[in-house]
A and B are shown apart, each in its own frame.
Chain A
């Protein structure tokens, strides 16, 4: 490729990034119902057009050619947006929530998109992270960084036990077992007094390296920086790290082995690939990310209850993964933006959101089964095809 073409690609990518940041800002700040509706349709239409015309693939190729620069630029743009929205509580809360759901859905991408394990208990593992964090932060003096990691580890551990009975089966048993677990988890919380029963638990605010996230930061006379700004910044960094991890897994022998397991277990076994080992790895690592995101989410909200982690919420996560594009961790970001923010902003659909998402998932599966941003061929490293 000529230098000139490469420069045009980079300019195009930067323009697209600026467009994404601008759009996110507008979408989060929009209040009139018609504005929100127009923006949502615009996002879906743009993603669809970019996907069909090959622009999205070209942009992704540019990003893949400069992975580190792309991540840093995307992170910087989003952090800049956090700075611009510094006093607007609701917009920042939404941003953090989108980043945390996107992180969780990147975990599901490892499981569903790569290893082929359907996990219909995403919200339950999110909740395990949240409850673990709540209990540890309330009753122990463990540093919060370790508390969050413990939340992820607990989700990973419970997941790795849950997957044991699934390993000897094929087909849709994983879906059935995880559905059962999602329902069981909520019921367990509701009857468990130690975990607050149906009323739930209060969760202390996050404190990392001496920085209390819930502290008020006055800004001049009557304004202040929203404490959600810290959470939003942390969540964005976490989402970036999760993206980088998932991509590194995909662009390595690990991703190849997971794909082999998903596509054909018999053929994989005949070439020495240990099916159980790879399924456990994907399920555990995926649930670790889900639990980690859930822990931060709980600390940000300051309060969690069983109703936050229902089977319906798990379905929301699965619909984000399918809408974004199965196996593409980038796709879950715009998908999470749509699925998380739209029902909060658009009162019209709040009541019917499950119905609406069910319809959207069905339409996607029928008309564009690869999702808004379909997964691309694996590129083990930048400049791969010239290898």
Chain B
């Protein structure tokens, strides 16, 4: 059995006359961490949006395991086991850390009207179970953050908000985690701390595959197994960090060298 988890063939996204993503071929193996790099506007976030159902691909196919997931709704992509974070955080700031994590755990929650309104004792047991699960997950990232489980996210510093967003994407035990520039707006030390947490998560979940969009080349070099470089919506290079960093097209497009 092949270990390819996700594959995209000829994935294309057009907005009117603009081609944001042009015939991208992409594959992701079980347990792999792929760094996705490229200048601003090169189609990285568009790729994530096309995978997660926020954009409908104009052409091409996406396959998750044996299933064709091309053009599925965001809800069904999530249920298939793909979760993501957003470049500009999309947390519910007025809600507690716990509530935000539970939004990520939606597929496991009882959404029935009667169960929620009438069977309060059962609901309470379910909630208590989830509190424990959320606390354990947070503790792996930061013990002080786990102690703030019931605080509103609005009161947290940037690094903790990022952690909450990553945990929201992790709590449902996805097969693939898409990270859209998690270092944006953070200091180098904060980024390093978050990457340490991600590496620890990887060693605990060896099956979990990740795609990481990142501008900091140092980060990519440190954590990724393989790199894919986009420019103007097309893949211009692929391989180990050293291979793509030495590629002349990558250097001219992205690293600003000639």
Contact = CB atoms under 8 A, between A and B. Distances in A.
B84 A270 contact: yes
Contacts of B150: 377, 384-385
A62 interface: no
Contacts of B103: 256-257, 260, 267-268, 271, 273
A268 B109 CA distance: 14
B127 A259 contact: no
A352 interface: no
Contacts of B94: 263
B99 interface: yes
A347 to B, nearest CB: 41
A266 B90 contact: yes
Interface residues of A, number: 29
A281 B112 CA distance: 11
Interface stretch (B4-12, B72-80, B196-204, B213-221): B72-80
B68 to A, nearest CB: 19
- Tell me what chain A mostly uses at the interface: helix, strand, loop, or mixed: helix
B186 interface: no
Contacts of A269: 53-54, 73-75
B111 A266 contact: no
A384 B98 CA distance: 12
B70 interface: no
A373 to B, nearest CB: 16
A73 B256 CA distance: 72
A385 B84 CA distance: 29
Contacts of A161: none
Contact of B117 (A254, A270, A271, A387): A254
Interface of A: 245, 248-249, 252-254, 256-257, 259-260, 263-264, 266-274, 281, 377-378, 380-381, 384-385, 387
16 contacts: A248-B117, A248-B120, A253-B109, A257-B106, A266-B90, A267-B91, A269-B54, A270-B77, A270-B78, A271-B78, A271-B107, A271-B168, A271-B172, A272-B106, A272-B107, A380-B124
